[in-house]
Structure 1
C-alpha cells in the first residue's frame, strides 16, 4: 500500500515520456513550403506573446492569493502557500507546453493532408494533441503524488490534506483566468473575422485577405489549447483531491458499530491512497490507448471519429478491468465490507462520463439529426437557426442531467456497499472515474484546434482545394470531440463540487465542533444564498459574453477599416498584405482587460458571503452548482451544434458556401462561439473554484 504514491508518480513520468516522444514525432514532420512556415511562425509568435502577457497579469493575482492563504490560514505558513504556488505553476506550464507543440503541429498537419490525405493528417494532429493530453495528466498526477509524499509521509506537516487542497486551488486559479482570457481572445477574433469576412465581404473562411485570420488562428491555440489544458489540469487534479479531502475531513466517515470505537480508528489509509491508485491505472490505460489511434483514409466524419475514438474506448476498457483488480488488492480489508463497492462507483462514473460525451456527440455532430435540423432551419433565416440551436442545447441538458443523477445514484450505492457512510466518498471517486483517462481524452480534444489551424494555413497558403476538404473534415470532427471533452469536464465538476461541498461542511465542524451547517431552505439566509448562487452563473456568462461582444466590435471596425483604407486588399491584389498585428493586439488587450472581473467574482463572492453568514454560503454553493452545471451543458452543446451546422452547409448542403442559408448559419455560429468556447467551459471551473475557496477558508469563517 505504501508504494501507491510512488507508482502514481512513476505512471505520471511515463506519461510525460510519451508526450516527449510524440513531440519528437511532430517536430520531425515536414512543415511545408516557406509560406506555410511563415504563417506557422506568425501564429507561434502571437500565441507566445499573449500567453506571456496573460501569465504576467495572473501572477499578480497568484501573489495576492498566496498572501491571503499565508495570513488567514494556520497551515498556509508556509506549506499551504507553497502548495498553492506549485499547483498554479504546473497548470501554467501544462498550458504553455501544449500550446507550443500545437503551434508546431498545425502547418505539419496541413502538409500531411496535402501529401497523404486524412490517413497521414489525422495521426499527426492527434500526436500534437497527445503532447497536450499527457503533459496535462502527467504534470497533474506527478505534482499530486509528490505533494502527497512530501506533506503527508515525509514531512508529516500539520493539516497535510488541507495543504493538498491548496494545490487544487492553485490549479483552479490559472484555469479560470486561462479559460476566460483565452476564450475572450479567440472568440473576439473568430466573430470579427466571420462577420466581416464571410457575411459582409463574401470571402472564404481564413482567406489571407482578412486581417483577423492570424488573430483567429492564434486564438485557437491560446483558448482551445492553453485554456483548455489548464481547465482539464484543474479538473483532473480536483477530482483526485476531492475524495482525499473528504476522507481527511470526515474521520468518522465509516460508522459501522463493529469497529467505531474512536475517531482515530476510523481513519482508513486506503481511502487516501485509492484516488491516486485509480489515477495511476487510468494513466497506464491512456498510454496504451494512445497507441491504438489508427489512421483512416476516409474523409467521412463518422469514419474519422471511429479512428480517433478507438484510443479512448480502449483506454476505458483497460481502466474498468484495472479498477476492479485494484479494488480486490487495495480494499479487501476488515474496515471495508465489500471491496467491489467503490470500484462500482468509479466505473459508474467512467461510463456516465462516456454517456455524457455521447450525448454531446449526438447533439453536435452532423452525423445525427439535431445538427441537420438546425442546418435545415437556415432555409428560413438566421432567427430560426438561432432558435434551433437554443432548443437543441436545452434538450441536451435534460439528457445530461438525467445521466449525472443516475451516476450519483450508482456511485452512492456502491460506496454504501463498501461500508455504511461511504456513499458520498463513492460519489467523489466516481469523478475520478470520469477523468481517469484524461491523457487520451485531452489528446482527442486538443487535436481539434490543430486541425482548425491546419485548415487556416491551407487556405492562407493557397493549397489545393482537396487539402482544405481534408482539414475541414478533421475540423468538423474536432468540434464534436471538443464537446465530448467538455461533457467529461462539466460532469466531473458536478461530482467533484458535491464532494468538496461535503468536505467544506465537515471542515466547518472540524474548525468549531459546536457549529453545524444549516441547509434548510426555510431559513431566510439559506434561501437568499440559494438565489444568489443560482444567479451568479448567469451573471458570469453575461459578463464573458459581453466581453466577447465588445472585443468583437473593435475587431469588426478594424477589419472594415483595413478593407476600406488599404487599396487592393479586398480585391486580393498581388503584394498587398493586411495589417495582421493590429488585430492580434486588439484581441490581446481586450482579453487581458475583460478577464479580470469575471475571474475575481469566483474568489471574492464566496469569501464575502462566508464572512457574513456561513449558512448563506452553503445555500449559495448549492444554487451555483445546479445552475452552473446546466448552463455549461447547454452552452457547450448549442455552440457545437451551430458550428457544425455551418460546416455541414459549407460541405454542400442547403446551398453550400456563399448562399443565404450559409450566411444564416454563420450568424448562428457567431452566437454559439462565446457559448461553446468562452462562457460554457468556464462554468465548470467557476463552480469548483467557489467550492474549493470555501473549503480552504472554512476555518476562517467560523
Structure 2
C-alpha cells in the first residue's frame, strides 16, 4: 500500500466516530420510544434521573475547578519549555470528552430503567433488548467520542500546525492525562456515592428491619438507584474511555519509536474503526429465549461479544499485512493475543463470580454458619481468582512481544501496545454488556417499588443477576486492559525520557559544553533500570504501596458516608409515623443529598494523591524512581484490583444464589449472613477495585506529561 493510500486511511477515523455516534443516537431513539409504564413507575424513574443529574452537575462543577488549576500549571510549564504549547488545551479536551461520554451514558440509563421494567412485563427478551440497547448507547458513545477526540487533534496538529508525525504522537500522548483525571474523579466519586447508599440501605433495611431489597419504605432506596447510574454507568464510561484513548495514543507513540512512522500510527486507529463496525454488528446477535436461566441469558450476550471479536480477528490480518507489509505480519499475533486474552479474562471472571459455578456456590454454602465464614470464603475466592488472569496477561505480553518483535526491542514494545488495542477494539459491545447491568438493577428496583406482578419481578431479578455477572466480567476486562495499557504507557514514558535527554544533550553540546553523565544514562534509561539500584528500588516499594494506600482511603470514604446513611435511615424509621406500615412516604431526597455531599468531599484526597505521587517521587528520587513507581503500582494495582473485584462479585452473587431459594431463601439466617458479605464486597467491587484501573494508568500519564520537568529538576539525578 502506497504512503498516499495509508494517509488516506486516516479519514476513516472521523467517519468511524460519526458512525458510532449516529448509531448510538438511533439506539437512544429506540429506547425513548418504548413505554415507560405506569404513573408510579414514571415518578420513581424521574426521581432517580433528577438525583443523578443533580449529582453530576455538582461533581462536574468541582472537577472544573481542578481542571482550571491544572490548566494554569501546565500552561506555566509549557512556557518554561517543558511541554508543547498545545498540551494544556489537549488536557482540557481529554477531560471534557471523558466526562461527556459518562454523561450521555447516564442520561440514557436513567431514561431506560422504567422502560426495561415495563418491557419485562411483556417478555424476558423484551426487557433484555431495552436494557442492552441502552447499554450499547454507552459503549458506542465512548468509542465515538474517543475517536472524535483523536481525529480532531491529529488534524489540528498535522494540517493547522504542520507538525511531524513524531511531534503529533508525542503531543497526543500527553492529552490522555485529562481523560484519566476525569475518569478518576468520576470513578471514585461515583463509587463512594453508590456504595454509601447501597451499604446503608442494606444494613438498616434488609439486616435490621428485615424488609426486602428495593422496598419503597427504605429512605435510601432512591439514592441506591441513583448510585448505580453515577458509579457504574458514568464512572465506568469515563474509565474505559481513557483506557481506550490511552491504548491508542501509547501505541501510536511507540510506533514512531519502532520506526514504523505513519503506517504504525494508523494501525491502532483503523483497528478502532473496525471495532466500531464489529460492535454494531454484534448488537444484532443479542437475542434471548423466554427461559429466565443465567446460562441462557449469558449465551445471548456472548453471541454479540464473540461475533464482534471474530470480525476483528478476521479483518485485522489483511489490514496489518497491507499497511505494515507482510514482513511485519507478526504484529497480527500480538493483536490476537490481546483479543483472545480479553475474552479469556472475561470468562474467568464469570467463572469466579457467577452463581452458576462452584466458587460462588461454595461461598453461598458457607453462609449457613454465619457472616464470618462468608467473608473468609469470599476473600479466598478473590485471592485465588488472581492466579489465572495474571497468567493470561503474562502469556499475552510474551506472545505480543516476540511475535511482533523478532528480536527488535522497540517492535516488541509496539506489539505489547497493539495487544491492548486488540483487547479494547470491541469496547463498543463489551461496555454495552457492562452498562446493561445498572439498567437491569434499576428496573428491578422500579418493579418492586411500583408493585408490578411476581412474574415481572422474576424476570427483572433474572436480568439483574445477569447484570451482576456482566458487571463483574466488565470489571475483569477493564482491569486486564488497564494492565496492558499501563505497560504500553510505561514504555512510552521511558521512550519520552530518552528523547528529552537526547534533546537536552544536543542543546548543551551546541552551547559548547559537555553533557553530564546522568543525561547519558537518561538517554538510555532502559539499560539502567536495575532493581538493585536504590532509586529504582525505592520507586518499586512506593509504587507497590500506592494501590493499598489508595484503597484504604476509598474504603474509609465509603465507610464514613455509609455511616451517615445508616444514621439517617434509622432516624426516619423511628421518627416518621406510619413509615414501616407503608402509610407514610420517606424523605428520599435527604439520603441522596447526604451521599452527594459525602462523595464530593471524600473523592478529593484519593484523586489528588494519585496525581501528585509520581511528581513528588520524581523530584525527590529521580527519573529512575518514577520508572520503579510505575512498575510497582502496575503489578500490585493489577493483582489487587482483580482480587477486590472478584471477591465483591462472588459475595454479591452468593447472596443472589440464596435468594433464588437455596439454603432457606430470602429472610433466612443464611441470607442475612450473605447480605453482610455482600455489604463488605460492595466497596471492593464498585469503588476501590475499579478505581485502581485508573490509578495505574493515571500515574503513567502524569509521568509522561511531567517527564521533562522531572528530568531537569530532580534532586537526585
Q: Is the 8 A contact 1:638 1:676 kept in 2?
A: yes
Shift of residue 267, structure 1, vs aligned partner: 5.2
Distance 1:3 1:32 in 2: 49
Matches within 5 A, 1:525-564: 525-564=535-574
CA contact 1:339–1:418 (8 Å) conserved in 2: no
How much does 1:420 deviate?
A: 6.2
Structure 2 CA distance, aligned partners of 1:375 and 1:29?
37
Cα separation, 2, equivalents of 1:75 and 1:287: 42
1:30-109 matched pairs, under 5 angstroms: 30-73=35-78, 74=81, 76=83, 78-109=85-116
State the distance in 2 between where 1:434 and 1:152 align: 28
Q: Is 1:187 aligned to 2:187, yes or no?
A: no
- Partners of 1:389 and 1:603 in 2: CA distance: 32
The match for 1:324 among 296, 317, 335 is: 317
Match of 1:414 in 2: 403
Per-residue deviation, residues 573-632 of structure 1 (Å, max 9, x unmatched): 2xx100001100110000000000000011111111112222111111111010000011
Measure the CA separation in 2 of the matches of 1:615 and 1:635.
30
Question: Please, what TM-score do these two structures have when normalized by structure 1?
Answer: 0.95
* Aligned-pair CA distance for 1:468: 1.2
Structure 2 SS opposite 1:449:
helix
Match of 1:144 in 2: 150
> Paired residue for 1:211, among 214, 219, 227?
219
Q: 1:285 aligns with which of 278, 285, 289?
A: 278
1:533-612 matches, within 5 Å, as 533-573=543-583, 576-612=584-620
Deviates further, 72-81 or 664-673: 72-81
Matched ranges for 1:510-525 at <5 A? 510-513=499-502, 514-516=520-522, 517=525, 518-525=528-535
Distance 1:606 1:418 in 2: 31
1:232 aligns with 2:240: yes
The gaps in structure 1 that reach 5 residues or longer are 254-265
Q: Which residue of 411, 431, 449 corresponds with 2:420?
A: 431
In structure 2, the CA distance between the partners of 1:512 and 1:307, relative to structure 1 (3 Å rule), is same
User: Where does residue 261 of structure 1 map in the other structure?
Assistant: none
* Cα distance between partner residues in 2 of 1:354 and 1:200: 41
- What is the CA-CA distance between 1:103 and the residue it aligns to? 0.4
The counterpart of 1:375, out of the listed 342, 358, 364, is: 364
Q: Which runs of 4+ in 1 moved over 6 A?
A: none
1:515 Cα offset (Å)? 3.6
Q: Is the 8 A contact 1:186 1:222 kept in 2?
A: yes
- What residue number does 2:301 align with? 308
2:18 counterpart of 1:8: no
Residue number among 322, 332, 351 corresponding to 1:362 in the alignment: 351
- How far is the alpha carbon of 1:193 from its aligned partner? 0.3
In structure 2, the residue matched to 1:630 is 639
Displacement of 1:210 after TM fit?
0.1
CA–CA separation in structure 1 for the residues paired with 2:273 and 2:151: 10
Q: Which moved more, 1:20-29 or 1:321-330?
A: 321-330
SS in 2 for 1:388: helix
Deviations 1:346-380 (A, max 9, x none): 11101001101111000011111011000000011
Offset at residue 165 of structure 1 (A): 1.6
Structure 1: how far apart are the matches of 2:408 and 2:623?
30
- Is the Cα–Cα contact under 8 Å of residues 70 and 77 in structure 1 kept in the other structure? no
1:500 matched residue in structure 2: 489
Q: Which residue of 2 aligns with 1:662?
A: 671
State how far apart, in whole Å, the 2-side matches of 1:343 and 1:406 are: 15
Indicate the SS of the match to 1:512. helix
Match of 2:479 in 1: 490
Deviation (angstroms), 1:419: 5.7
Q: Aligned partners of 2:14, 2:662: CA distance in 1, in Å? A: 50
Q: Helix, strand or coil: the match of 1:422?
A: helix
| Corresponding residue SS for 1:204 | coil
- C-alpha distance in 1, partners of 2:458/2:406? 53
Deviation at 1:421, TM superposition (A): 3.7
Structure 1 residue 155 displacement after superposition = 2.2
Q: Do 1:5 and 1:146's aligned partners in 2 also have CA atoms closer than 8 Å?
A: no
Alignment of 1:116-131 (within 5 A): 116-131=122-137
Which of residues 283, 289, 293 in structure 2 aligns to 1:296?
289
CA RMSD between the two structures? 1.3
Q: Assess, with a 3 A threshold, how the Cα gap between structure 1 residues 420 and 193 changes in structure 2: closer, same or farther.
A: closer
Q: CA deviation at 1:295?
A: 3.1
Q: Distance in 2 between matches of 1:84 and 1:296?
A: 46
Query: Is contact 2:120–2:126 with CA below 8 Å preserved after alignment?
Result: yes
* CA shift for structure 1 position 77: 5.6
Cα distance in 1, alignment partners of residues 410 and 618 from structure 2: 27
Does the aligned pair in 1 maintain the 2:174–2:704 contact within 8 Å?
Answer: no
Q: 1:448 aligns with which of 437, 448, 454?
A: 437
Structure 1 residue matching 2:385: 3-state secondary structure: helix
In the TM superposition, residue 75 of structure 1 has moved relative to its aligned partner by: 7.2
Distance 2:42 2:82 in 1: 51
- Distance, in Å, in 2 between the alignment partners of 1:599 and 1:296 is 44
CA apart distance, 1:246? 2.0
How many positions carry a matched residue from both structures? 680
TM-score, with normalisation over the residues of structure 2?
0.93
Instruction: Name the structure 2 match of 1:177.
Output: 185
Aligned mate of 2:32, from 20, 27, 31: 27
Q: CA deviation at 1:4?
A: 2.3
Compare 148-157 and 312-321 and name the one that shifted more.
Answer: 148-157
- Secondary structure of 1:3's aligned partner: helix
**What CA deviation, in whole Å up to 9, does each residue of 1:522-561 have, x standing for no partner?**
1222211111110010000010000000000000000000
Structure 2: 5+ residue stretches without partners: 1-5, 503-519, 712-717
Paired residue secondary structure (1:2)? helix
Which residue is 1:258 aligned to?
Answer: none
Q: Is the 8 A contact 1:75 1:163 kept in 2?
A: no
In 2, Cα distance between equivalents of 1:463 and 1:601: 46
Match of 2:505 in 1: none
